Amino acid sequence: MKYTILKEKCYWTLMSLLTIILLNACSDITDRQKEYLDMGETIYVGKMDSVIVQGGKDRVVIKAKNTYLRTAVECVVKWTDIEGVAQEKIFNLKENQDGDYTLFTIAPLPEGDYDFELYTTDDVGNKSIVVEAAGASYGDIYVHTQSKLSIIDLFVNDEGGAELTLSQSKMAVKYKLTYKDKDGKAQNIESEEIKDKIVVPNWDNNDNSPFELTTFVLPKDKLGLDTLELPTLVQVAKQHVSYYPVDKSKILSAKYTATDNTGKGFGSGAPQAIFDNQSGGDAAWECWNDGSTLPAHMSFDLGKQTYLTAASIIGRNNYFGWDVVKFEIWGRESIDDGPGGPTGYEIQSRSDEEGFEAEAITRGWKRAGKGWFQYENPRKNPQTSSCELTDLDHSFKPRHILLRIMSCITPDGSTPSDKYFGEDGGYTGGGKYFNIGEMGLTATGITYTIE
C-alpha cells in the first residue's frame, strides 16, 4: 500500500516538472517569433539572373537576364578593387534593358580586377538577395603583355609576290600590313582573318624593304568588348644572293619564232641535245646548226622564271672548230598572250636579219644578257669554257628564252690563232656553223631574312 502511494507521488511530481519545462519552451518560441512579428512582413524583390561581366578598355559592361525582376525598378551595383576600395552606382532598370537582358555600363573604370555585388529594389525600398560576379577592365598594361604578330619568313614567288609567314598571337583578331610596291608607293593590307601566310602582290623586292605590321587583339579571356591596337612592329627584308645551276631536266626545247634553227645539221640530236647531260664524239649527242650563217637562234622553256647569270659549254670530242664564241640570251616572262598579232611572241625575222632585234622588242622580248666563251691554249679535247653574262637585265625574270649564237671558231687552218681561241670574238656571217655538245646555265637567286 505504501509503495503504491509513493509511486503515485513520483508520477505526479514528474508530470509537474515536464509541464513547467514545456511552458517555458513555448514561452521562448513565442518571444522569438514576436521579435520578427513586431518587425512586420519581409518582401524580397526579384534578383538579377545569369550575371556575367564583360571587360572593355577602361570599362566593364555587366549583362544580366531579366528572369525574376517583376516589381524591381532599380539595381544597385557595387564594385570592389583588389585593394578593397568599394564604390557603387544605382541604375534604372527600364532605361538599361535590352530585350531579355539588362546592361550596366561602368565607365571610366581603371584597369584591373574587380568583385561585383548586385541587388534590385522596388518602389517602396524592398531589396532582392545579393548576386555576386567577378570581372576586369583592361588597357595599357594589358597591351604591353600581349604578343604581336611578326614576319618570320619571306619567299618571293614567280609572280614577284612576297609570301610572308607570320608568327602566332593568341588574342589577335585583325592585322594591318603596310609595304612598298614596285613603284615605291605605300600599300596596305588589312584583314580580320588571321592566317599563317600573307601574299603581298607587286612587292618592291628591294634590300632593306620595310614592312610595318600592326596587330589588333581582343581579350577573349576577359570576355572582351573592345579591340586594342598594339604598337606597330617595323621589320626589314635583307637580301642574300646565291648562285645555283639551272635544272637541265626542266629545260625543254620549244619554238617561239618562225625562224628557229632546228639544230639537226649533219644528223645531230637537235636543240634538246644541248641540255641532255650527254656529250661525246657522236653527232647524235650534239646540236649543229642546219644553215651556214650566223647569228642563229633556238628556243627553250626553262621550266620556271629564272635570273640567268652565267653559262658553260662543252664542244665535240676530237673535232677541230665551230665552237661557240659569242652568244646572247633573249627572254620573256610569259607567252600567255599567244603567238599572233603584231605583239604576239612569235618572231618572223631571221636572226641574221637587220630587223630581228627591233621585231623581238616589239613582240615583248628583252635581251637578258650577253656571253663570250674563250678557250684555253693548247686546245682541250673537247673544248670547254664558261663565262659570266654581261649587260644583264634583271628588270624581268624570264622563263622562255632564245639562245642566239652570234659567232664561232672556224677550222681555218692547223696553226692556232687568236681567232681559234675566241679571244677576238670569233667569226660571224655567212658560211659559218656552230656545234654544241652540251651547255649549262647558272642562275642567281635572292633569298631574304627578316630583321
Angle at 294 between CA 290 and CA 297, to 5 degrees: 65
Share the mean pLDDT of the chain: 87
- Residue 3: predicted pLDDT: 44
Own/partner contacts of 175-178, CB < 8 Å, gap of 24 or more, are 175/149, 175/213, 175/214, 175/215, 175/216, 176/213, 176/214, 176/216, 177/211, 177/212, 177/213, 177/214, 178/211, 178/212, 178/213
Band (155; pLDDT cuts 50, 70, 90): confident
Please check the confidence at residue 12 and state whether its pLDDT lies above 80: no
Residue 236 carries which DSSP code?
Answer: E
- List the one residue out of 161, 240, 200 whose CA is nearest residue 447: 240
The mean per-residue pLDDT over the stretch 185-206 comes to 91
Comparing 12 with 402, the larger pLDDT belongs to: 402
Express the helix, strand and coil content of the chain in percent, nearest 5 each: 15, 40, 40
Q: What are phi and psi of 242, to 5 degrees?
A: -135, 160
Burial of 21 (0-12, 13-18, 19+ CB in 10 A): exposed
Sole residue written with cell 573604370: 109
pLDDT digits (tens, 9 = 90+) for 293-350: 899 999 999 999 999 999 999 987 777 678 899 999 999 999 999 999 999 999 999 9
- Residue 372: predicted pLDDT: 94
Could you tell me which residues come within 8 angstroms of residue 98 by beta carbon, excluding any fewer than 6 positions away? none
Could you tell me which residues come within 8 angstroms of residue 266 by beta carbon, excluding any fewer than 6 positions away? 283, 288
Please check the confidence at residue 1 and state whether its pLDDT lies above 90: no
- Rounded CA separation 359/331 (Å): 13
pLDDT digits (tens, 9 = 90+) for 239-266: 888 899 999 999 999 999 999 998 888 7
| Ramachandran sector of residue 57 (left: φ over 0; alpha: ψ -120 to 50; beta: rest) | beta
- Residue 24: predicted pLDDT: 56
266 to each of 274, 413, 443, how far by Cα in Å?
15, 21, 32
Comparing 172 with 16, the larger pLDDT belongs to: 172
Asked whether 253 and 403 are in contact (CB, 8 A), the reply is: no
- Rounded CA separation 150/413 (Å): 67
Cell numbers placing 238? 635583307
- Residue 156: predicted pLDDT: 83
H-run or E-run covering 20: helix 2-39
Sole residue written with cell 609570301: 163
pLDDT digits (tens, 9 = 90+) for 76-134: 999 999 999 999 999 999 999 999 999 999 999 999 999 999 999 999 999 999 999 99
- Rounded CA separation 348/297 (Å): 12
- Rounded CA separation 369/257 (Å): 19
90 to each of 93, 96, 104, 155, how far by Cα in Å?
9, 11, 10, 59
Distance separating the N- and C-terminal Cα atoms of the chain: 118
Please check the confidence at residue 203 and state whether its pLDDT lies above 80: yes
- Rounded CA separation 268/280 (Å): 12
205 to each of 100, 236, 238, 332, how far by Cα in Å?
56, 11, 10, 19
